[in-house]
Amino acid sequence: MTRVVDRLQPGRTVFSVEFFPPRNDDEERILWKAVRELEPLDPAYVSVTYGAGGSSRDRTIRTVGRIARETTMPPMAHLTGVDHSKSELRHVVGSLANEGIRNILAIRGDPPGDPMGEWIPHPEGILYADELVSLIRSCGDFSVGVAAFPHMHPRSTDLETETDHLVGKIRAGSEFAVAQLFLQPEYFLRLRDRLAARDCHVPLLPGVMPITTPKVLNKFQHLAGVPVPPEVSAVLDPLQDDPQAFRAAGIDLTTKLCERLIAEGVPGLHFYSLNRAKATREVVDNLGLAEGVLQPA
Ligand SMILES: Cc1cc2nc3c(=O)[nH]c(=O)nc-3n(C[C@H](O)[C@H](O)[C@H](O)COP(=O)(O)OP(=O)(O)OC[C@H]3O[C@@H](n4cnc5c(N)ncnc54)[C@H](O)[C@@H]3O)c2cc1C
């Protein structure tokens, strides 16, 4: 199976797409519509998040397995250490391998229910993501990525120590890192500089969520703790009651953010798709990232 890093080549920016596992038949249909609409654009890989509960976790495994079997896109599974012993984690990695999955994003995860609640490790589990990276690598030939935080993880106390921890999980055996959302490219670029200053040069992929509605814009603050900067508010606040104009301006702002990142030489853009294709397609199209591949009708 294609490894994520094989699709990240110097001198060219690619894009990837993140999905979450569907919770019912309707969501399954919506997800697969998005998958089919994005496939002709040849994303470098597509990833599926890992939830907190047992059935959602099985759906992650089923969904990446189906992507591996039924599409041309290299899949990546997210895996978290929440409520798992190390032996359960090895079992999940084995299930992923049985589905043909070789790319895994290794994440510690948050306590279920309250992301900022006390992190209580499973008595036989992992404490931090670096241990999960090592565990996955010990299970076989997997390409492992980790999460990175341009605005600093909410549990961290300072950027330098946090960057040391990020370098620690990369040195534990990860080949790339995927960044949390941000709206100001400087935060991402400073993170890249801090890694470079530590002689750490694995591909760092910015996370991008196309701004389509006020609700999506709120997710930056509420899901990722990312403040909406004045230059973004100045454009979008006056359009709150005009959905079409808001969407057009949001896609324009997202495109400009991506253009800056491409000019800065990022190897790929990782789109948080919310299981819809339209906005990602629009931005990818604006950027010309799928030129030369078959465009969907
Ligand atoms: C790209 C991306 C994808 C995500 N996908 C999912 C998903 O599928 N499912 C899900 O539930 N959540 C997901 N999340 C959210 C993630 O679970 C939370 O942000 C979680 O709180 C952090 O996970 P982590 O792997 O970065 O943790 P860690 O790297 O373990 O870091 C957690 C905190 O501990 C500190 N730390 C790290 N290592 C050490 C160490 N060795 N010693 C001391 N302190 C340390 C860090 O600085 C940080 O403050 C994702 C986040 C991102 C950015």
On whether residue 221 sits in a domain, the answer given is yes
Tell me the residue range of the domain where 270 lies.
Answer: 4-283
Q: How far is 273 from 120, CA to CA, in rounded Å?
A: 30
On whether residue 155 sits in a domain, the answer given is yes
* Residue of 45, 56, 116, 128 to mutate, ligand 1, most atoms within 8 A of C-beta: 128
Total domains, the chain: 1
On whether residue 251 sits in a domain, the answer given is yes
Give how far Cα 167 sits from Cα of 8, 13, 202, 221, 232, Å: 20, 23, 10, 26, 31
Dist. CA 67 → ligand 1 center (Å): 25
Q: Whose CA is nearest to atom 8 of ligand 1?
A: 49
pLDDT tens digits for the chain (297 residues)? 899 999 998 889 999 999 999 999 999 999 999 999 999 999 999 999 999 877 889 999 999 999 999 999 999 999 999 999 999 999 999 999 999 999 999 999 998 888 888 888 999 999 999 999 999 999 999 999 999 999 999 999 999 999 999 999 999 999 999 999 999 999 999 999 999 999 999 999 999 999 999 999 999 998 889 999 999 999 999 999 999 999 999 999 999 999 999 999 999 999 999 999 999 999 999 999 987 675 554
CATH of the domain at 220: 3.20.20.220
Dist. CA 107 → ligand 1 center (Å): 5
On whether residue 295 sits in a domain, the answer given is no
On whether residue 292 sits in a domain, the answer given is no
On whether residue 296 sits in a domain, the answer given is no
Is residue 107 in contact with ligand 1, taking CB distance under 6 Å?
yes
User: What is the model's pTM?
Assistant: 0.97
On whether residue 291 sits in a domain, the answer given is no
Helix, strand, coil: what percent of the chain each, to 5? Answer: 45, 15, 40
Is residue 168 in contact with ligand 1, taking CB distance under 6 Å?
yes
Give how far Cα 55 sits from Cα of 58, 60, 62, 115, 130, Å: 5, 9, 10, 20, 26
Query: Tokens 């969520």 label which residue?
Result: 209
On whether residue 145 sits in a domain, the answer given is yes
